[in-house]
């Protein structure tokens, strides 16, 4: 069975409460209708119930009525205002600011998760990555032992001879512009967990560079070799190696010749990029040029799941990401 079908089936086995702050965005509403029809998750829509339902009616989205609704303009959200104030007062937030911000659906969604009233959030069809991530960073924060959130993609490539029968995890392609060596190591650990927990594969992590095992000397290469050491120290059982060029990471013959003795060279299924420029460019090029299905960004390292969509996403992308968010919430 295709991995995405498995992820949807897993979500259906234990429906999680997923909050959608962009409730009048039409692709989001169509996705919510499918998710409710197929019982993939319980949906919470933020906004005016009447306005949302009349929009749904115009589009013949009959299942949207089965969602839960919260309207920050008319419902009592005082407990969320207080929570936001308590969480952010040490950063200088006033009660007046908390009252205003808690009405922002992107903030309210995170506050609902923090309060235990929702299990995960998906947004980004309308809002930028920064606007989706900032409230999540401020309110939900990272998992214990992790200091940065990063963004991974499941890359379903048409080349079964590479990766895990064509499947790769690419990271960080979405969040951290220029991670330090220790942050890069954290991205490797989080990506390995995503590969294992979400894709069910044994992670073989390659830390990518323009150099393989000392073929070039540069401070950018040093950052990657330092990150490999940090990742190995943090998890001695993790199959991780670097620095590796992309061909040495995924092509068995090249891996053998450029990195003999490596435990993953030529077989990597998790590719960790040295910075956001390379990660973001790589995933978009692979997606467009090779006809790869790229699912993400899947945010990893957050204490509870919040995921961001590309503004160019399709209804199907949103349904898949709701299922992925629900899977993360079940962990
Ligand atoms: N993980 C966890 N927390 C973080 C992270 C992180 N990676 N980055 C910032 N934070 C926290 C900070 O610690 C801070 O917390 P505090 O207020 O409690 O002290 C808070 O978030 C705000 O930090 P800033 O440094 O002010 O972060 P800023 O809001 O400026 O930027 C952002 C964060 C928006 C995510 C920035 O890193 C960014 O723009 N990244 C690039 C996003 C992007 O454009 N990606 C490409 C498009 S996505 C795509 O193509 C799929």
Distance 31 CA to ligand 1 centre (A): 27
Handedness of CA 275, 277, 283, 286 (dihedral sign): negative
pLDDT, residue 130, reads 92
pLDDT, residue 235, reads 96
Q: pLDDT by residue (tens digit) across 218-230?
A: 999 999 999 999 9
Q: How far apart are CA 254 and CA 77, in angstroms?
A: 58
Residue 214 sits at φ, ψ, to 5 deg, of 85, 10
* Residue 293 predicted with pLDDT over 70: yes
Alpha helices in the chain (DSSP H): 3-13, 26-37, 49-58, 78-88, 95-101, 105-115, 129-135, 181-197, 219-234, 246-250, 252-258, 276-290, 315-330
pLDDT, residue 310, reads 87
Residue with CA at minimum distance from ligand 1 atom 15: 138
DSSP one-letter code for 43 = E
Strand ranges of the sheet holding 293-300, from the earlier edge strand across to the other edge: 239-244, 204-208, 270-272, 167-171, 150-156, 293-300
Residue with CA at minimum distance from ligand 1 atom 4: 137
Chain centroid to CA 45: 20
Distance 138 CA to ligand 1 centre (A): 10
266: tokens are 């030529």
Listed in order, the ranges of the chain carrying CATH 3.40.50.10750 are: 150-293
Mutate which of 92, 125, 136, 137 for ligand 1 pocket (most atoms within 8 A of beta carbon): 137
Residue with CA at minimum distance from ligand 1 atom 51: 174
208: tokens are 């990518």
Distance 79 CA to ligand 1 centre (A): 26
CATH entry, 2-141+309-330, from 3.30.360.10, 3.20.20.150, 3.40.50.10950, 3.10.180.10: 3.40.50.10950
175 within 8 A of 302, measured Cβ to Cβ: no
Report residues whose beta carbon is within 6 angstroms of any ligand 1 atom.
91, 129-130, 133-134, 137-138, 142, 148-149, 174-177, 280, 297, 310
* Residue 1 predicted with pLDDT over 70: no
Percent of the chain with pLDDT over 70: 99
Distance 187 CA to ligand 1 centre (A): 14
Q: pLDDT by residue (tens digit) across 24-51?
A: 999 999 999 999 999 999 999 999 999 9
CATH number for the segment(s) 150-293: 3.40.50.10750
- Own/partner long-range contacts of 284-293 (Cβ < 8 Å, ≥24 apart): 286/155, 286/157, 286/170, 287/155, 290/157, 290/158, 290/159, 291/158, 292/155, 292/156, 292/157, 292/158, 293/155, 293/156
Rounded to whole angstroms, the maximal C-alpha distance in the chain is: 66
Of 238, 200, 247, 242, the C-alpha closest to 225 is 242
Q: How far apart are CA 49 and CA 43, in angstroms?
A: 13
Listed in order, the ranges of the chain carrying CATH 3.40.50.10950 are: 2-141+309-330
Supply the mean pLDDT for the chain.
96
3-state secondary structure of 220: helix
């Amino acid at each position: 069975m295709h991995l995405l079908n498995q992820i949807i089936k897993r979500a259906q086995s234990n429906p999680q409460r997923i909050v959608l702050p962009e409730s009048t965005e039409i692709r989001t509403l169509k996705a919510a209708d499918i998710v409710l029809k197929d019982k993939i998750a319980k949906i919470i829509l933020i906004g005016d119930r009447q306005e949302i339902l009349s929009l749904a009616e115009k589009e013949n989205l009959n299942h949207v009525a089965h969602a839960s609704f919260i309207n920050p303009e008319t419902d009592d959200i005082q407990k969320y205002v207080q929570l936001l104030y308590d969480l952010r007062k040490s950063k200088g937030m006033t009660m007046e600011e908390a009252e205003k911000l808690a009405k922002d659906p992107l903030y309210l969604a995170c506050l609902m998760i923090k309060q235990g009233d929702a299990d995960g959030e998906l947004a980004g069809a309308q809002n930028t990555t920064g606007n989706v991530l900032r409230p999540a960073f401020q309110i939900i924060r990272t998992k214990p032992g992790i200091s940065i959130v990063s963004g991974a993609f499941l890359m379903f490539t048409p080349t079964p001879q590479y990766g895990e029968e064509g499947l790769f995890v690419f990271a960080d392609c979405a969040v951290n512009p220029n991670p330090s060596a220790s942050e890069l190591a954290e991205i490797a650990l989080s990506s390995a967990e995503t590969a294992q927990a979400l894709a069910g594969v044994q992670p073989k992590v390659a830390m990518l560079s323009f150099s393989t095992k000392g073929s070039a000397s540069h401070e950018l290469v040093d950052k990657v070799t330092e990150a490999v050491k940090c990742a190995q120290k943090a998890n001695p059982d993790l199959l991780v190696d670097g620095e590796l060029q992309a061909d040495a990471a995924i092509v068995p013959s090249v891996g053998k010749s450029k990195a003999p003795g490596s435990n993953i060279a030529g077989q990597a299924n998790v590719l960790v990029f040295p910075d956001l420029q390379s990660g973001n460019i790589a995933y978009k090029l692979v997606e467009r040029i090779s006809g790869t299905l790229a699912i993400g960004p899947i945010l990893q390292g957050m204490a509870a799941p919040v995921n961001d969509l590309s503004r160019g996403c399709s209804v199907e992308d949103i349904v898949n990401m709701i299922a992925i968010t629900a899977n993360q919430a079940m962990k």
